[in-house]
Amino acid sequence: MSAGRPVKKLPEETIVVSSEPTSELYKQIALQSGASVHRLRITKGSDGALVPNDTGMLVQTTGLRQQSTIYVKDLGPQIRWRTVFLVEYLGPILIHPAFYSFFTKNGEGASYTQTLTLILVVTHFLKRELETLFIHRFSASTMPTSNIFKNSAHYWLLSGVNMAFWIYRQSFYGKSGPSPIVTSLGLALFVLGELGNLSTHLTLRGLRSSGGKERGIPQGLGFDWVTCPNYMFEVVAWLGVALVSLNWSTVLFAIVATGQMGVWAKKKEARYRKEFGGTYKRKRYAILPGIW
């Protein structure tokens, strides 16, 4: 039986051994229906709970039994999460140099502040691209293709076009900028934030094997302070960029990004508490120590 968008050639029944992983159930239905396994979503008929496509979860642990009813949904065209990340972060990398070149006549009329801001923004997103290629491991393989436009808008428009337009206009800075003390402080925060963020990502990578979906309790730099120190260090880095640029568009992006990361961090804290129970040391703050 199918819930939502119907799956073509969906079999009326399928057989898997209860001691097999749930990923085998997905493989069997994909094979019989001719659909991509990444497009399928399976839920239990009894309570609507998701049956995850997981090599580490057994069918019997989901509560499915002989002659249990399941619902299968076609999620539509899918795209890999890694690809989504690469496309998202590419926006600012292309947009900032383009606006910088256009407004400052290939840099000849750029102020020190504008040039330094360009370097920091491009460095930040190049780091993200490299982490996506070589560090990040994803628990979910794909997402709906249509979501890439919504996800990319945050980076291409808010941290791309909006920031670049207001920062690189010659009339905004002329040859002036923030004081050397403010600039130095901004640079220090940026470096601290980027290195701390990288350290956290390396820690999270070590919790999961290549291609695996297992989870572990992260420990190390920042994890005693907040649930998601990678987000905390991200905020620190963008505070640094804001101090260097002294531009409202940078502050706006930092506020919006902090709000979104805070929501994600709260959800992760709830998931940690549910998944690990008493073995997990509960955090009072999700993203910013003493604040949130």
- 275 shares a domain with 241: yes
- 271 shares a domain with 259: yes
Region 85-103: what's the mean pLDDT? 96
* pTM, 2 dp: 0.85
Residue in this structure with the two tokens 């991509």, named with its chain if needed = 36
Among candidate residues 149, 164, 170, the one with its CA nearest the CA of residue 92: 164
Residue 195 has pLDDT above 90, yes or no: yes
Residue in this structure with the two tokens 């572990």, named with its chain if needed = 216
Task: State the total domains in the chain.
Answer: 2
- 135 shares a domain with 38: no
Residue 103 has pLDDT above 70, yes or no: yes
Among candidate residues 100, 95, 104, 246, the one with its CA nearest the CA of residue 174: 104
d(CA 64, CA 19): 11
**What is the residue range of 60's domain?**
22-76
Residue 174 has pLDDT above 70, yes or no: no
289 part of a folded domain: no
Q: List, in sequence order, the alpha helices (H) in 49-154.
A: 81-103, 112-134, 147-153
- 164 shares a domain with 63: no
Region 147-154: what's the mean pLDDT? 90
- Record the tokens describing residue 113, joined without a space: 């502040």
Domain's final residue, options 41, 76, 111 = 76
- 269 shares a domain with 177: yes
Q: Looking at residue 54, what is its pLDDT?
A: 80
More confident residue, 75 or 156: 156
213 part of a folded domain: yes
pLDDT tier at 1, thresholds 50, 70, 90: very low
Domain's final residue, options 51, 76, 101 = 76
d(CA 76, CA 6): 10
Tell me: the pLDDT tens digits for 225-242?
999 999 999 999 999 999
202 part of a folded domain: yes
3-state DSSP of 203-225: HHHCCCCCCCCCCCCCCCCCCCC
- 219 shares a domain with 241: yes
Q: Looking at residue 251, what is its pLDDT?
A: 95
pLDDT tier at 170, thresholds 50, 70, 90: low
Q: Looking at residue 3, what is its pLDDT?
A: 40
- 120 shares a domain with 107: yes
Residue in this structure with the two tokens 């703050």, named with its chain if needed = 285
- 177 shares a domain with 206: yes
- 198 shares a domain with 124: yes
SS3 (DSSP) at 44: strand
Domain's final residue, options 43, 76, 109 = 76
- 168 shares a domain with 31: no
Residue 108 φ/ψ, nearest 5 degrees: -65, -30
Q: Which of 69-83, 93-107, 208-222 has the lowest mean pLDDT?
A: 208-222
Q: Looking at residue 2, what is its pLDDT?
A: 39
Torsion sign over Cα 76, 79, 85, 87: negative
Where residue 61 sits, what CATH number does that domain have?
3.10.20.90
pLDDT tier at 108, thresholds 50, 70, 90: confident
135 part of a folded domain: yes
261 touches 200 (CB < 8 A): no
- 46 shares a domain with 114: no
Residue 232 φ/ψ, nearest 5 degrees: -60, -45
125 touches 87 (CB < 8 A): no
- Helix (H) or strand (E) holding 232, with range, is helix 229-245
